[in-house]
Amino acid sequence: MSLHDRTFPADAPASGRSLWRAELTDTVRLATPIALTQLGQIAMMTTDLMLLGRLGADVVAAAALAHTVLFAAFTLGMGLVAAVAPLAAQAFGARDPRGVRRALRVGMWASVLAGVPLTALQFWGTDILQALGQTPENAALAGRYLLGLGWCLIPAWIFMAIRGFMGAVNRPEPALWITLVAIPTNLVLAWALIYGELGLPRLDLLGAGIATTFVNVAMCAVALIVCVTRRPFKKYHVLGRFWRFDGPLFRKLLVVGLPIAGAYLLEFGVFAAAALLMGTISTTALAAHQIALQIAAVLFMVPFGISIAATVRVGHAVGRRDAAATRRAGLAALALGAGFMVIMTGLVALARDVLPVMFLGSQTPETAATFALTATLLLVGMFFFIADGLQTVAAGALRGLNDTRMPLVFATISFWVIGFTACWWFGFRADLGAIGVWIGLTIGILVYAVLLVTRFHVLTARGYMPEVGHAVSAASH
């Protein structure tokens, strides 16, 4: 019986080698559509950046600043809805369909409750960036982008919650199909609104933001329709009693999700701080940093997809109370993530002089400095890319154990006590500029990866099992 044919988890294979082979196979099957969905979502951001890049390096820099403001809010909600996957997976592993539905429902509630104030915050983006020391010109351009982009938070979070639910029940493919349709839709709409094509007004940065918001609303709506009308999702009645507030599980979502959100914010915060440091160095440094980070983000999407699969696979094993399968699921995912990132990092190093063309077009005297610095940052970031893949898979495996508080402590130490200090020291005291900032980022992310992998190894080596009980399923919902 394949992974996709299961209504609830089947018993594991019987012997040692076949156990590992089956785990790797099931993880790959689950992770592939999830990773492709992640790549599709980052592809939409990347195409937006590529289209905006034709308007000049100052526009790329402004887009980087706008994303800094947006993602500060986005990561908070992303952390909350990330808790849907382990809660739903544990309920699925325990053969509790009612608990699966409730996990999605509280995730959607969290999206709305967090989204209203955080959406409003986006429209003060210009003032926020000026207060952080950015030039009025760059801040004004970024604020224009946020006027269109800021509305995407709630639909994007709800789509992520639905995607977590779909993965938890071993059916992640519909999220992929929706994303594959969204990519060309976003490309055409963003192109038309940025440049004033197809009879639409020329709105430059504002048009890119409007296109992103429209596509996210459409993706959310289609995903809800699929959940309500298509098997096997419709048997969970995901909108049943939607307006009945589920206090016990909502609190559990906060207990699991808020530390995830905190770790995301700390990680995002150090990258945002790095972007602000780059902005004080030069516009060239900021643009090169944004392009190199966008390439890193594309690479990151595959291990991030593997991390979601690790959360689900570990959560299923926790629901079955199978400690050996819990450890096996996490280690198999770590091996997959590390192998992928080693290969892709080598390819990026070889193509580092070519990749900036996708964002800046052909090299000109005006963009030559940005080309050269981007290529250098991609070479400096080789260890960064590998460590980033490892940390996200390890974090995903720990979420399957509901272990989110200690990773928050690790994030504080790694990203701020060590990482940001190193960024500042190498960038300014050692006078290495943008290269020094990237050396600091690499050190911080490497420390985080080592701590998370060690944490998972220690917990699972001693057979740790979280108390999931039936807090998720005890109430009559």
In a domain, residue 13? The reply is no
Separation between Cα atoms, residue 85 and residue 82, nearest integer Å: 6
pLDDT at 287: 83
pLDDT digits (tens, 9 = 90+) for 65-92: 888 788 888 888 888 999 998 999 998 9
pTM score over 0.85: no
In a domain, residue 50? The reply is yes
In a domain, residue 6? The reply is no
pLDDT digits (tens, 9 = 90+) for 214-273: 999 999 999 999 999 988 898 888 887 777 787 788 888 999 999 999 998 898 889 888
pLDDT digits (tens, 9 = 90+) for 130-155: 887 777 888 888 888 999 988 999 99
Q: Which domain holds residue 334?
A: 18-461
pLDDT at 468: 66
* Of residues 363 and 460, more confidently modeled: 460
pLDDT digits (tens, 9 = 90+) for 406-462: 999 999 999 999 999 999 999 999 989 999 999 999 999 999 999 999 999 999 998
Separation between Cα atoms, residue 333 and residue 39, nearest integer Å: 18
In a domain, residue 379? The reply is yes
- 390 with 360: CB under 8 angstroms? no
In a domain, residue 235? The reply is yes
In a domain, residue 341? The reply is yes
Separation between Cα atoms, residue 432 and residue 428, nearest integer Å: 7
In a domain, residue 474? The reply is no
pLDDT at 15: 58
pLDDT at 449: 96
Helix, strand and coil in the chain, % to nearest 5:
80, 0, 20
* Of residues 353 and 213, more confidently modeled: 213
Out of 188-197, 223-232, 293-302, pick the least confident.
Answer: 293-302
Residues 6+ apart with CB under 8 A from 312: 30, 85, 86, 89, 167, 168, 170, 400
pLDDT digits (tens, 9 = 90+) for 300-314: 888 988 999 999 999
pLDDT digits (tens, 9 = 90+) for 319-343: 889 999 999 999 999 999 999 999 9
Total number of domains constituting the chain: 1
pLDDT at 10: 46
In a domain, residue 12? The reply is no
Following CA atoms 439, 441, 447, 449 in sequence, which dihedral angle do they give, to the nearest 10 degrees?
A: -120
pLDDT digits (tens, 9 = 90+) for 4-54: 434 444 444 455 678 888 888 888 888 888 888 878 877 787 788 778 877
pLDDT at 470: 44
pLDDT at residue 477 greater than cutoff 50: no
Torsion sign across C-alpha atoms 92, 36, 378, 45: negative
Separation between Cα atoms, residue 163 and residue 362, nearest integer Å: 38
Looking at residue 400, its amino acid is G
Average pLDDT for 283-310: 86
pLDDT at 94: 85
* Of residues 123 and 363, more confidently modeled: 123
* Of residues 450 and 466, more confidently modeled: 450
